[in-house]
Amino acid sequence: MQEARRALGGRLREIRKAGGFRTARAFAARAGWSESKASRIENGITQPSEDDLLAYAELCRAPDLYGDLVATVHGIEEMYVEWRRLHRDGLRPVQESLVPLTERTRHFRIYEPGVIPGLLQTPDYARSIMGRIIAFWDIPDDTEAAVAVRMGRQQVLRDAGRQFGILIEETALRSRFGDAEVMATQLGHLLTVSVLQQVSLGIVPMTADRTMWPLEGFWIYDDEQVLIELATAQITIKQPSEVATYTRMFAEMAQIAVFGKAARALITEAINALE
């Protein structure tokens, strides 16, 4: 969190200089602040208020940056959360924390490079993944409760008033979580979900001519925020310009994915490869 505050302070310093204020003292005088206040903000010691950010945006003639700055401040507390902290009480609380966001989202855009997304997982596939997470992080085993919450979140898939754009790398179809029976059931479930009118399921073939290559999976919730899973932490992005970047990235990935019969053919090939 402190690193995020320092980064925000550095950005405000750049905005201030670009706006013609060479020193924090000059800016503070124009804003009606003490010089120490501007210095504390720009060095990441004090978190700025929305009014403080508005002063930077207006006085430095950069009003278009105000939205991003506000989103940055609001997201600092949750921007970077280590998995060990998230998982300290087990996996169920993490799954439950996603319920409100899932329920209010109308348009999901999901990209996963190595696993089947949680909204499309079968119970046994989810158990296999969660069991490995619990063992790796050595956290309380609440697998069944966590699986139940995840399965409950999947009810949104049946809502025809929502949209689900889902892109999965072909390698995720081939990566085994559980035995052949678990994988066959999981892949069969993908075939079933793929024909839902509100679901657009794309598979990025291993042979695709790459024009985009995200290194991590990401979930875009409406145009509100993006969740990214790293090896050690969950990243939450709410800055409009960065959300827009991931939206553009998703669109470009969709250009190299296959849909409909071609996507189902790749899923079927993965099922046949289990035999």
List, for residues 88-122, the tens digit of each pLDDT value. Answer: 889 998 899 899 999 999 999 999 999 999 999 99
What are the tens digits of pLDDT across the range 53-62? 999 999 999 9
Could you give the domains of the chain? 2-78 (1.10.260.40), 87-272 (3.30.870)
pLDDT for the residue numbered 233: 76
| pLDDT, tens digit, 9 for 90 and up, residues 30-78 | 999 998 999 999 998 888 999 999 999 999 999 999 988 888 887 776 6
Burial class (CB in 10 A: 0-12, 13-18, 19+), 28: buried
What's residue 77's pLDDT?
Answer: 60
pLDDT on residue 18: 94
- Given a contact cutoff of 8 angstroms between Cβ atoms, the answer to whether 208 and 171 are in contact is no
Tell me what pLDDT residue 61 has: 94
Higher pLDDT, 238 or 209: 209
Residue in the block written with tokens 């109308």: 106
pLDDT of 80 > 80? The answer is no
Lowest mean pLDDT among 10-24, 32-46, 81-95, 120-134: 81-95
Cross-strand pairs, 227: 219, 236
**What's the chain's average pLDDT?**
91
3-state secondary structure the chain: CHHHHHHHHHHHHHHHHHCCCCCHHHHHHHHCCCHHHHHHHHCCCCCCCHHHHHHHHHHCCCHHHHHHHHHHHHHHHHHEEEHHHHCCCCCHHHHHHCHHHHHHCCEEEEEECCCCCHHHCCHHHHHHHHHHHHHHHCCCCCHHHHHHHHHHHHHHHHCCCCEEEEEEEHHHHHCCCCCHHHHHHHHHHHHHHCCCCCEEEEEECCCCCCCCCCCCCEEEECCCEEEEECCCEEEEECCHHHHHHHHHHHHHHHHHCECHHHHHHHHHHHHHCCC
Lowest mean pLDDT among 76-85, 180-189, 224-233, 266-275: 76-85
Poorest-pLDDT segment among 144-148, 190-194, 229-233:
229-233
- Model pTM score: 0.76
Q: What percent of the chain has pLDDT over 70?
A: 96
Q: How confident is the model at residue 1 (pLDDT cuts 50, 70, 90)?
A: low
**% of the chain exceeding 90 in pLDDT:** 75
